[in-house]
Amino acid sequence: MSDAPARVVVLGGGPAGDVAALRAAQLGADSYLVERAELGGTCLNWGCIPTKSLLATADLLRKIQRADEFGLVVGEAGFDFHKMMQRKDDIVLKLRQSVEGAVKRGGVTMLRGQGTVDGDAVAVDGERYPFDVLVVCVGTEPSGLPGIDMDHPAVLTSNDVLVLTKVPKSMLVVGGGVIGCEFASLFAPLGTEITVVEILPRLLVGIDERTAKQFQRLLEKDGVTVHLGRQVEEVEKYLKSGVVARLDDGTTVRAEKLLVSVGRAPQTSDIGLEEAGVAITERGHMVVDDHLRSANPKIYGAGDCIGGLQLAHLASAEAARAVENALGHDVRPIDRTVVPSTIYTHPEIATVGLNADDAKEAGHPVKLGQARFGVSGKALGEGEPEGYAQLVSDADTGLLLGATIMGAHAVEMIHEIGVAISEGLTIAELGDIIHAHPTVSEMVMDAAQQAVGVAPYLS
């Protein structure tokens, strides 16, 4: 039997692929990473990082526009969109170089080019690289919409938004999910007239109905027009100055730009996966088992291309687990019980575990604990009184089932609840943990104490 190290080839260099290749090298494998574009994938180059860089500017502008509330005297707030985009690009470049450095230091062989599966090898620019294990992390790309001319300059995907040279005066956002709502939160304070059209009866379907409704109210307070249960029936006119679209209820919307944000499609076609025995769903996702192995025992999958929640941190966790399973190190199924989900709108929204609606649907007797940001001294001091923390527990056992937080710093606060769920804490035990005052994070303690009737200021 050969003592040579396993050869692991990773297809795709995003947050799943980078981690897979580095973890394989850590475990002693000969590790090869294939990427046709830039390391970091969608998250670093076209998603998480650039959008959050721009959203940080938009949030700062919001604060400056309210400077008089804080006792500050400033002139009329303005912005330089070119500098905003340049700052975004600089941050992306810095982080991309960091990933490139990590790959080099980790002993991973970097292969630049389009990779396709060819038997027990991956072909890159005509050269074959045999593998003992292949980890497919090819990610997704923005989906188009039938009936809309996706090549027209007025029609944008989420990628196109990130290379705009000026702020549109108006934008029609088709799709009220995470991507659409984040871009609405970005451009509204920049003065863009935003209209969001969502075919479903509410925004942000992944969160509970109460939070979705409250977020919609705040979005509309920001000047955004929302049409729920509606779809674009037809783009009646494509003009140099924009588009004229007609909704299915007859409403006409004229906008300088039309952003299609209806989801993302996996990039699994035409790379030899099916020929290698990998099953692909009708929607293009790889079929893998709970150990992340495909029907071909030498091929594993991780990240957005296998479906489920499209989250960079989940993709990284899946990638590490796939490599460990493939190489026989601490073999176990992927556990998605506690995966935080974060939405960078204004205000931020974060969830973990089950929300109130899902817990009831799953048959749990639900006990909620709630605390409003409007009674938080820290939130009031920061001028961010909107939102609340809501904990979900089983009324019979007291065990924490999940949480939803909407408000300032929600995406930072959610993790302690994930840890509490992982450790099997009850909502009362979480409430017993002393939190510093004044902090926004103490809303978690307050919500837990409210659930069991011991919160001194909440009822």
Q: Which residue has the tokens 């730009």?
A: 257
Catalytic, 227? Answer: no
Q: Are strands 232-239 and 242-247 parallel, antiparallel or unpaired?
A: antiparallel
Structure tokens at 168: 């549109």
Pick the catalytic residue from 152, 415, 435, 437: 437
Distance CA 239, CA 173 (A): 17
Taking the CA atoms of the chain, what radius of gyration do you get in angstroms? 24
CB 90 within 8 A of CB 13: no
Whether 394 and 373 have beta carbons less than 8 Å apart is answered as: no
- Give dist(CA 203, CA 216) in Å, integer: 7
39 in Cβ contact with 18 (< 8 Å): yes
Strands of the sheet with 115-118, listed across from one edge = 115-118, 121-124, 127-130
CA distance linking residue 272 with residue 138, whole number of Å: 12
Report the run of H or E that residue 218 belongs to, with start and end: helix 209-221
- Residue 103's DSSP bridge partners are none
Nearest to 169 by CA among 42, 292, 254: 254
Taking the C-alpha atoms of residue 271 and residue 138, their distance in angstroms, rounded to an integer, is: 10
Helix axes 178-187, 48-65, angle to 10 degrees: 40
By the 8 A CB rule, do 339 and 351 touch? no
Pair type for strands 193-198 and 170-174: parallel
Q: Where are the beta strands (DSSP E) in 193-314?
A: 193-198, 225-228, 232-239, 242-247, 252-255, 257-260, 264-266, 299-301
What gap in Å lies between CA 455 and CA 459, rounded to an integer?
7
Q: Which positions are annotated as active-site residues?
A: 437
